[in-house]
Amino acid sequence: MKIKLLLASLVIVIATLSNANAQSKSDIYYNIGGGIGAEGNVGIPGINISNDLNYYLSKSLSLNPSLLFFQSTDFSQKKTASNPYPELADKSTALLMNFAFQADLLKTNYGLHVGLAAGPSYHYGVDNYFRGYGNDEHNVLVSKGYQRISRSQVGLLTQLSFDWIGNQANRKQSIDISVTGYDGYYGWHAMLTYKVGFLLKK
């Protein structure tokens, strides 16, 4: 319920800012990039690859459908004589499909735009959590393997974006800080992503 209320509040704020700055603008940008992140449910670090579109409805409001892939990068400890039972890494793989509304909150004289986005997010993925060690029937300590959990859930995406036009007028660069929430937990994924955008239509 808290996530739904937060989403509704952000949509209202974005709509209000859009009406206040309404101006015809139909630029479409395709953005691609990557960065670092974390699966916040248990704290697994990872990397992400991002693809999205910015379809501007007005001077300050855009629709941003996106597809984001997350892969954990934590590594297992090596088995050594002094560490015969190493901790094996938890693993997480996720595909996030988002549809966000973004409003520019600040524009500087240097061409920097700061925007806030929010919208629904669908998370499909698999998590594998190391279950530790236990004794087998011969009382020998062995790995208990992984607990595999499949994910398919709908939640909320929020994102803070910093955009600027580079030396080429038909390209832009951006840094995004995004956080997702699912199943009543806000902070499931946290991402820091650098992207390059290409103007498709003006």
- Residue-level pLDDT at 6: 52
User: Mean of the pLDDT values across residues 100-126?
Assistant: 93
Higher per-residue pLDDT: 140 or 179: 179
3-class SS letters over the chain: CHHHHHHHHHHHHHHHHHHHCCCCCCCEEEEEEEEEEEECCCCEEEEEEEEEEEEECCCCEEEEEEEEEEEECCCCCCCCCCCCCCCCCCEEEEEEEEEEEEEEEEECCCCCEEEEEEEEEEEEEEEEEECCEEECCCCCEEECCEEEEEEEEEEEEEEEEEEEECCCCCEEEEEEEEEEEECCEEEEEEEEEEEEEEEEEC
- Residue-level pLDDT at 158: 97
- Residue-level pLDDT at 23: 44
Cα Rg of the chain, angstroms: 21
Taking the C-alpha atoms of residue 5 and residue 7, their distance in angstroms, rounded to an integer, is 5
- Residue-level pLDDT at 191: 96
Percent of the chain's residues with pLDDT above 70:
81
pLDDT above 80 (res 116): yes
* Architecture in CATH of 2-75+86-201: Beta Barrel (2.40)
Beta-ladder partners of 93 = 71, 126
- Residue-level pLDDT at 84: 64
- Predicted TM-score of the model (pTM): 0.80
Taking the C-alpha atoms of residue 75 and residue 5, their distance in angstroms, rounded to an integer, is 38
User: Mean of the pLDDT values across residues 13-26?
Assistant: 51
Select from 92, 85, 40 the least CA-distant residue to 71: 92
Least confident of 51-55, 69-73, 84-88, 196-200: 84-88
pLDDT above 90 (res 129): no
Label residue 19 by pLDDT band (50, 70, 90). Answer: low
In tens, the pLDDT along 74-110 reads: 776 666 665 666 667 888 999 999 999 999 999 888 8
